[in-house]
Amino acid sequence: MPRTPGPCALVVFGASGDLTRRKLIPALYALWVQRYLPGGFAVVGVARRPMSDDEFREHVRKGIEEFARLPIEEAEWREFAATLRYLHGDYGDPATYQRLRELLAQLAAEQGTGGNALFYLGTPPSAFPAVIEQLGRAGLACPLDEESKQCGRWARIVVEKPFGRDLASARALDRLLEETFGEEQVYRIDHYLGKETVQNILVFRFANGIFEPVWNRRYVDHVELTVAESIGVEGRGSYYEESGALRDMVQNHLMQLLALVAMEPPASFDARSVRHEKAKVVRAVRPFAPGEIGRFALRGQYGPGAVAGGRVPGYREEDGVAPDSRTETFAALRLLVDNWRWSGVPFYLRSAKRMPRRVSEIALRFRMPPLALFPRTPLDQAEPNVLAFRIQPAEGISLRFEAKLPGQELHVRSVNMEFRYGTSFGLAAPEAYETLLLDAMRGDATNFASAEMVEDSWALLDPVLNAWAAEAPGDFPNYEAGSWGPAAADAMVANDPVSEARAWRRP
Ligand X SMILES: NC(=O)c1ccc[n+]([C@@H]2O[C@H](COP(=O)([O-])OP(=O)(O)OC[C@H]3O[C@@H](n4cnc5c(N)ncnc54)[C@H](OP(=O)(O)O)[C@@H]3O)[C@@H](O)[C@H]2O)c1
Q: Which residues are catalytic?
A: 253
What is the distance between the alpha carbons of residues 298 and 489, in angstroms, rounded to a whole number? 6
Is 18 a binder of ligand X (CB under 6 A)?
yes
Contacts of 20 (CB under 8 A, 6+ apart): 12, 14, 45, 60, 63, 122
Which range, of 31-39, 44-52, 435-443, 483-491, touches ligand X by CB under 6 A? 44-52
The footprint of ligand X on residues 378-417 (CB under 6 A) is none
Q: Specify the 3-state DSSP secondary structure of 311.
A: strand
Contact pick of 4, 6, 38, 48 for ligand X (by CB under 6 A): 48
Is 124 a binder of ligand X (CB under 6 A)?
yes
Nearest to 119 by CA among 267, 14, 26: 14
- Alpha helices per DSSP H over 71-223: 74-81, 94-110, 128-137, 146-151, 167-180, 196-206
Contact pick of 6, 17, 463, 473 for ligand X (by CB under 6 A): 17
Q: Specify the 3-state DSSP secondary structure of 317.
A: helix
Is 129 a binder of ligand X (CB under 6 A)?
no
What is the distance between the alpha carbons of residues 445 and 186, in angstroms, rounded to a whole number? 8
Is 16 a binder of ligand X (CB under 6 A)?
yes
Is 112 a binder of ligand X (CB under 6 A)?
no
Contacts of 378 (CB under 8 A, 6+ apart): 372
Please report how close the Cβ of residue 347 comes to ligand X at its closest, in angstroms: 25
- Alpha helices per DSSP H over 10-143: 18-19, 25-33, 53-67, 74-81, 94-110, 128-137
Contact pick of 6, 38, 112, 125 for ligand X (by CB under 6 A): 125
Please report how close the Cβ of residue 19 comes to ligand X at its closest, in angstroms: 3
Is 194 a binder of ligand X (CB under 6 A)?
no
Is 38 a binder of ligand X (CB under 6 A)?
no
C-alpha triplet 356, 358, 362: angle, nearest 5°: 110
Please report how close the Cβ of residue 130 comes to ligand X at its closest, in angstroms: 8
Residue (116 or 123) nearer to ligand X, CB: 123
Which range, of 16-24, 78-86, 204-212, 260-268, touches ligand X by CB under 6 A? 16-24
Residue (121 or 298) nearer to ligand X, CB: 121
Is 14 a binder of ligand X (CB under 6 A)?
yes
Please report how close the Cβ of residue 433 comes to ligand X at its closest, in angstroms: 9
The footprint of ligand X on residues 229-258 (CB under 6 A) is none
Residue (22 or 357) nearer to ligand X, CB: 22
Do residues 160 and 121 touch, judged by C-beta distance below 8 A? yes
Q: How many beta carbons lie within 10 A of that of residue 209, not counting itself?
A: 7
Binding site for ligand X (CB under 6 A): 14, 16-19, 22-23, 47-49, 91, 122-127, 160-162
